[in-house]
Each structure stands twice: as structure tokens, then as C-alpha cells.
Amino acid sequence: MERQAVSTRFRSLRSTRGLRRAFTLIEVMIVILIVLALGGLVAWNLMGTKEEADVNLAKIQMDQIGEALKQFRFRHNRWPTDAEGIAVLWDKEKMTEENDLKTWKKLLEKPVPKDKWGNEWGYRQVSEHGDESQFDLWSYGPDRQEGTDDDIVSWETETDSGTTADSGSSSSSSSGSGSGGGN
């Protein structure tokens, strides 16, 4: 009889411990909500990082195009014409000057006709934003709208902090034209 009492008492302790180890539905739901909230915060922060990375990538591409344009000028003693555009940096058939065909060299290995957001790069042979001996190069930026603050341009803008922009360098534009950038 003593054995039965000990056995029953042991079983009731075991079943009580088993219940204490299990989670209630409320506890499980609270944990799920916490995990979802943390996941949402991480996703929110990553989205801002991706947008910033896209802008930085466009600035790097603009710098590469600017450097290729400088090499073109060194080689041909002129900037590409508006008709040739930046495509002449990778496509010999875009060259309009017969004399320059002999000395043409591919200056960009991979064609970059469009920016990160699918817009064609803007190019102008004679800058309308400062030194006319330089070029204008621009992207309308993530919103794809001309003349907005997110435009990426190669000329100095009102939002620049007094430093001059080098050819092909980029900054946000607050100018109304949104078309052009370079040196």
C-alpha cells in the first residue's frame, strides 16, 4: 500500500512537471509576435540600406563613365558629341567623326546605357552648369523624375557644401533642370 501511495504521488508530480514544461497558446503567440516585430524592424532597416546602395552604385557608375569620357577626350581631343552620346565609349559604330575612327578604342568594357533604375544616362557635350569646356552627365535617380532632389548629377548643385564637383562625380540636384552634369 505504501508502494501504491508513493507511485501515485510520483505520477502526479510527473504530470505536474510535464504541464509546467509546456507553453500555453498565449505564450507561443507572444513569442511569434516578438519575432515578427523584430523581423519587421530588420526588413525596414535593410530596405533603406538597399536604396542607399542603389544610389551609391549609380554614383560609382557615373564616376566610371566620367573617367571614360576623360580618356575619350584625351584620345580624340574632344568630348563625344550629343549625337554620339556615351554609347561611343563602347560602340565604335556610334562614332560620327571619320578621322576619329582610326584611333577609336573601347573605353568601357560593359555597356552602361541605363542607370540603376532603367533610365538612360543623360549626357550633354557642352555643360550648361558651369564650365562650358566640360560635359554634363546625369541620372534622374530613384524617382525617375527630372529636377527632383534625388537626381544624381556631375555638376555642383545648390545642396553641395561649397566643394566643386569633378567631372563624373555625383551629387543630389536641387536644380530645376535635372538635365546635365559634368565638367
pLDDT exceeds cutoff 60 at 174? no
Range of the domain at 41: 25-173
Within a domain: residue 159? yes
The structural domain count of the chain equals 1
- pLDDT tens-place string over residues 52-62: 888 899 999 99
pTM exceeding 0.75? no
> To the nearest 10°, the Cα dihedral for 148, 154, 155, 159?
50
144 vs 160 pLDDT, higher one: 144
Within a domain: residue 91? yes
Within a domain: residue 182? no
Query: Which contacts qualify for 152-161: CB closer than 8 Å, 24 or more apart?
Result: 152/55, 152/58, 152/59, 152/62, 152/115, 152/181, 153/129, 153/178, 153/180, 153/181, 154/62, 154/66, 154/181, 154/182, 154/183, 155/127, 155/129, 155/130, 155/180, 155/181, 155/182, 155/183, 156/129, 156/130
**Residue 79 is part of a domain; what is its CATH number?**
3.30.700.10
Within a domain: residue 73? yes
Within a domain: residue 179? no
- pLDDT tens-place string over residues 9-60: 555 555 555 556 788 889 899 999 999 999 988 888 877 788 888 889 999 9
The pLDDT, as a whole number, for residue 11 is: 59
67 vs 164 pLDDT, higher one: 67
Within a domain: residue 140? yes
Amino acid identity at 106: K
- pLDDT tens-place string over residues 112-158: 888 888 889 999 998 888 788 889 899 988 888 888 888 888 887 76
Within a domain: residue 1? no
Within a domain: residue 14? no
